[in-house]
Amino acid sequence: MNEQQETISTMLDMTAGEMLKNARTTGRRKREISTIAKLLCIKEEFLTALEEGNYRVIPEDVYILGFARSYAVELGLDPDEVILKLKKELGLIKEKQEDDEEEPVSVVQKQPIKIDKEAILKWLKTSINYVKKHWIWFASGVAALLFIIILSLLIFGGKSEPVVDTNATETVEVVATVKEPDFRYPIHEKFDTKNRKESRVVLQAEKESWVKIEDARGNSVFSRVLIPGDVYYLPASDKLKATFGNVGAIDVWVDGQLLKKLGPANTRKTGISMAPDALKSVGFAD
């Protein structure tokens, strides 16, 4: 086993925190945790908690995952690999059990169908003899059936004009087509793309910022830390409200047009109506 293979094997055995700490303290670019904390605008105690696996220090899972992703990118690690390990440690996903026993498959052997020719021939002979003996009844039944069919055709066989309801109005389904924004920054990751076709309001992070979207009842629709380039498609609704941890770091697009900033950088703002018409009153960017 060469040095590279040993390194990969060691990384696989590490926890997410150990991977972060190892990347920061080994190699040519050894760095102080305080320096990285200032660069990422994340508290030093949160980065220390990530490295030590003391996740209770950080208030919510969304912050833990967001901080870990930013930290991993800064240290040159694969953020997806770190996040996957972290989700397993937090119990957000379960590993597949490889030793699951397969259910036994029952094999049903098809039995050949036996045809009793003698019984069939006997039944045919009995039926023919019965018809011969009572042919008058059968002939009368066929004649009565033909008479009923002809009478029905004479009574109901005429062509009827279709009835047109002049008061009925034609319903035309109108499908709104929402223009995809010309985002200002390279896209890092997209969220809730299921809303993409109908979403009139789209967000993109210029810098790192916590974003929370709530419905009219105060239920959380979306909550996470967006990092530069992240895109979020809001559901089609006029009753959504938003909270931004850094309102000046978020680009807001309405119907494919970029709005002016909703507030200054490094400012927390809550209770912002995300109704498209209300947002348009802010004005569009030049």
- 253-283 pLDDT, tens digit per residue, is 999 999 989 999 989 999 999 999 999 998 9
- Helix and strand numbers (H, E) in the chain are 9, 9
Burial 151-175 (b: 16+ CB within 10 A, else e): eeeeeeeeeeeeeeeeeeeeeeeee
Strand partners, 220: 214
Distance CA 83, CA 109 (A): 50
Region 115-124: mean pLDDT is 81
Strand partners, 242: 213, 272
- Is it the case that residue 172 has pLDDT exceeding 60? no
pLDDT value of residue 191: 94
Chain segment 230-243, per-residue pLDDT in tens: 999 999 999 999 99
Between the alpha carbon of residue 41 and those of residues 30, 73, 82, 192, the distances in Å are 19, 14, 20, 26
**Model-level pTM greater than 0.85?**
no
pLDDT value of residue 171: 41
Nearest to 269 by CA among 226, 210, 217, 229: 210
Distance CA 267, CA 252 (A): 16
Contact 82, 20 (CB under 8 A): yes
Across the beta sheet with 231-233, the strand order is 190-191, 231-233, 201-205, 250-254, 257-258
Contacts 24+ apart (CB under 8 A), 125-134: none
- Is it the case that residue 97 has pLDDT exceeding 50? no
The confidence band for 96, taking pLDDT boundaries of 50, 70 and 90, is low
Domains of the chain (ranges; CATH) run 3-90 (1.10.260.40), 190-280 (no CATH)
String of DSSP letters for 85-150: HHHHHHTSS-PPPTTPPPPPPP-PPPPPPP--HHHHHHHHHHHHHHHHHTHHHHHHHHHHHHHHHH
pLDDT value of residue 152: 83
Select the more confidently predicted residue: 17 or 13: 17
- Is it the case that residue 164 has pLDDT exceeding 90? no
% of the chain beyond a pLDDT of 90: 44
Select the more confidently predicted residue: 137 or 280: 280
H/E element holding 190?
Answer: strand 190-191
The whole-chain average pLDDT of the chain stands at: 82
Chain segment 62-94, per-residue pLDDT in tens: 999 999 999 899 988 999 999 999 999 888 887
Region 225-229: mean pLDDT is 91
% of the chain beyond a pLDDT of 70: 81
The confidence band for 114, taking pLDDT boundaries of 50, 70 and 90, is low
* Greatest Cα-to-Cα distance within the chain, rounded to the nearest angstrom: 110
Select the more confidently predicted residue: 124 or 156: 124
Region 183-190: mean pLDDT is 93
The CA angle 61-262-255, to the nearest 5 degrees, is 95
Check residue 281 and report its DSSP letter. T
